[in-house]
Structure 1
């Protein structure tokens, strides 16, 4: 018997998106924050306090944001499934014709499409309509808890990296040290995310480092201007 359960990259979409977003946000926001504070001529202790506060606040914000947004998606999916379940109870014949029409649009012969629709609905009508009419599948369905934990956990890891650099680097070179190492961290994140998701490595790496460098550069400018004025 052939094993059709192959491993595909789409199975990682749910947690990978949240994890990459969290880690990227952790590195960029924390590095930008400590660079801005350091550029305002703050001492190491103040920079660390600001960075740790940003880590805690950012992790909670990421977890809450992911949970709320993905929960909204899950609520919408459940509402669509409830509506589809009712439609199947009210008029199963029409729903079968509707499913067959979908397969015809995808290229099947009408007679074969009808046969496929009959067999799939006999096996699991709701799952067939959820997948082919609504685009809802087990692989891509919303998982709020998974997204919240993946995002918050990866944010903490990402945010911890520039804070470690702040703690270990001489105070006189905090800004360049955090800037350079954070860009390296972002590049590595781009490589890991690309390999995990099966996307082009160079494209992902350039994308993530460019926006990180832009964010850190603008924050350093604001910090320097603020420090000069005050």
Structure 2
């Protein structure tokens, strides 16, 4: 039997993973941009301007990219559904035999496989074939608008953290406070990402923290170099 609820749960889990990745992107890219400017100047105005500009540009880019990508995926899914409908109209007996063969290949006896295929076909032939052949639930297709909004919001939430850190911290400790705040945030998002993916926490967090620290260190060094040279 086709499990639509399982397909919808999988879709929600994928969006949650995408949201965590979007937040990580917002944290790291905006922190790198802020610290790069902070390396060149201690004036808070240019630093905040760069951070806010990076937040807006990054959120729009993430949302637009996700919308285009998911729209293409949805078009492909709709094409597969249309193709399956046509095949069922053209050769229902052949499609029934194909579905039974799929279940036989999974270890079900020929008689039982034929019975399961017949019952699923009687209930919803398109859904039965899409699930067995493609792992696709026609009731849980990807939604480009939801994906775009989710990506934009998650990036914005992530990008807001380094901006708030650099804006609220006293000037003498602005850089270290931002650096530490970003690393703590990456530890948290790394743990969430690892839990969603069922992977080990330590390795996932270490990769994210080392990558984020390297990005901030490099951009800050470049900012200092350009600031000293007067470019």
Taking structure 2 as the reference length, the TM-score comes to: 0.89
- The aligned counterpart of 1:110 is 110
Q: Give the TM-score normalised by structure 1.
A: 0.89
Measure, in 2, the Cα distance between the counterparts of 1:214 and 1:129: 48
Match runs of 1:13-52 below 5 Å: 13-52=13-52
Give, in whole Å, the separation in 2 of the partners of 1:225 and 1:95: 67
Task: Output the CA distance in 2 between the equivalents of 1:180 and 1:139.
Answer: 44
Q: Secondary structure at the match of 1:107?
A: coil
**Cα contact 1:14–1:143 (8 A) shared by 2:** no
Q: Is the 8 A contact 2:127 2:138 kept in 1?
A: no
- 1:214 is displaced (CA, Å) by 2.4
**Shift in Å, 1:43:** 1.4
1:98 to 1:74, Cα distance in 2 relative to 1, 3 A = same
Q: Secondary structure at the match of 1:137?
A: coil
CA offsets 1:189-209 (integer angstroms, 9 cap, x no match): 122344456554333322322
Residue 172 of structure 1 deviates from its aligned partner by 3.1
Alignment RMSD: 2.4
1:58-90: CA deviation from partner (whole Å, max 9, x where unpaired) = 111111111111111111000111011100100
1:176 Cα deviation after fit: 2.1
Question: Distance in 2 between the 1:33 and 1:14 partners?
Answer: 28
Q: Does 1:171 align with 2:178?
A: no
Provide the C-alpha distance between the structure 1 equivalents of 2:154 and 2:183, rounded to a whole number of angstroms.
17
- Quote the Cα distance in structure 1 between the aligned partners of 2:34 and 2:77: 41
CA offset at residue 9 of structure 1?
Answer: 6.5
Shift of 1:7: 11
> How far 1:34 sits from its partner (Å)?
0.2
The CA distance in 1 between the partners of 2:160 and 2:202, in whole Å, is 25
| Aligned counterparts of 1:102 and 1:218: Cα–Cα separation in 2 | 53
Indicate if the aligned counterparts of 1:18 and 1:148 stay in contact, CA closer than 8 A: no
1:74 and 1:7 mapped to 2: Cα distance?
Answer: 15
Q: Using the TM superposition, name which of 8-17 and 23-32 deviates more.
A: 8-17
* Count of aligned pairs: 227
Q: Which runs of 5+ in 1 are unaligned?
A: none
Q: Map 1:215-226 to 2 at 5 A.
A: 215-226=215-226
**CA deviations over 1:141-196 (Å, ceiling 9, x no partner):** 31212211111111111111111111111223332221111010111112234445
SS in 2 for 1:136: coil
